[in-house]
Amino acid sequence: MVWVKNMEPIIKVENLTYAYPTSKDFVLKNISFTVNKGEVLAVIGPNGAGKSTLLKALNGLVPHFYGGKYGGRVIVSGFEVLNTPISKMSTKVGFVFQDPEDQISGLALTVWEEVAFGLMMLGYPREEIDKRVKEAIDYVGLTGLEKRSPFELSGGQMQRLAIATVLALRPEVIVMDEPTAQLDPLGKYEVLSVIEKLTESGSTIVLAEHEIEEVVYFADKMLLLDKGEAVAYGDTRKVVTMVEELKRRGVDPPSVTELTSLLKEKTGVDVALPVTLEEAVKIYSELLR
């Protein structure tokens, strides 16, 4: 089944401006964008660009938990974040942290208990908990590890567990803050496979990422931040092919995109810039005929 994206915005951010209470400098400056139901938005940019802060504004941690100076509007699933408590927003927006250990409760002895923990706190009946936990564990590929301690898992397994705890709550939006940043190559592959599976099933995802080589395969749109400002926003191909702009902002374009851009510059050959390896193979095969 092919998922058809809904063109109705589920996230609408208008002129979002924010400064932490301990700082005079704004870390977000007049940010605006929309995300439709079923879309994936990748928020990219160098360290310190404001990516994590922006994500925290989607579930209400900014400004309700952190305080500070806040301006503009953030509306998620019909709720204006500024006027909605975090407890309510947490049922609409699931948050996956960069470090999975920050997400693990520390109170659960097993993987199964960890996934069930949030549902138990919300008072779901046992039958519903069992159903959701099994579905979430199966979805992220942790079947067979239900009785293992969360702290005996590999980095990739632990991050998939963190995703499972979010999926069990069935949020309308999933927010991920550089979920592969602290993982080895195998762990990155495992987590990216789950994210790609989520995108194919029509999940609405906002993903912060510094490295974009893999994200281009499933992101519908990209928002490039630098020093709290939106430098570029739009279709993934449009943003990714802004090679010099990305490099100037401290973001590495996909290797094939940068290489082809250099080829065009040096030889004048007229070809479209590829954004994936598969596209590059096709383009170069045609050039070599």
Average pLDDT for the chain: 94
Q: Is the pLDDT of residue 248 over 80?
A: yes
Query: What pLDDT digit, counting tens, does each position of 205-239 carry?
Result: 999 998 899 999 999 999 999 999 999 999 999 99
User: 83 falls in which pLDDT band (50, 70, 90)?
Assistant: very high
Give the pLDDT score at 268: 87
Residue 144 in this model has a pLDDT that exceeds 70:
yes
Contact 191, 179 (CB under 8 A): yes
Confidence of residue 259 (pLDDT cuts 50, 70, 90): very high
* Residue 8, pLDDT score: 82
CA distance 235 to 232: 10
pLDDT of residue 6: 61
Instruction: Grade residue 3 by pLDDT with cuts at 50, 70 and 90.
Output: very low
pTM for the whole thing?
0.93
Encode pLDDT of 47-75 as tens digits.
999 999 999 999 999 999 999 999 999 99
The whole-angstrom separation of Cα 45 and Cα 280 is 24
Exposed/middle/buried for 166, CB within 10 Å: 0-12, 13-18, 19+?
A: buried
**Closest CA relative to residue 192, chosen from 220, 167, 215:** 215
Domains of the chain are 8-92+171-250 (3.40.50.300), 106-170 (no CATH), 254-289 (no CATH)
Contact 76, 37 (CB under 8 A): no
Dump strand ranges (E) for 88-220: 93-96, 173-177, 205-209
Q: Are 221 and 35 in contact (CB under 8 A)?
A: yes
* pLDDT 10s digits, 107-139: 899 999 999 999 999 999 999 999 999 999 999
pLDDT bin (cut points 50, 70, 90) of residue 288 is confident
| Nearest CA-CA partner of 44 in 285, 241, 222 | 222
**What mean pLDDT comes out for the span 14-30?**
97
The model's confidence at residue 5, banded by pLDDT at 50, 70 and 90, is low
Q: Tell whether the model's pLDDT for residue 4 goes beyond 90.
A: no
**Could you give the CA distance from residue 138 to residue 136 in angstroms, rounded to a whole number?**
5
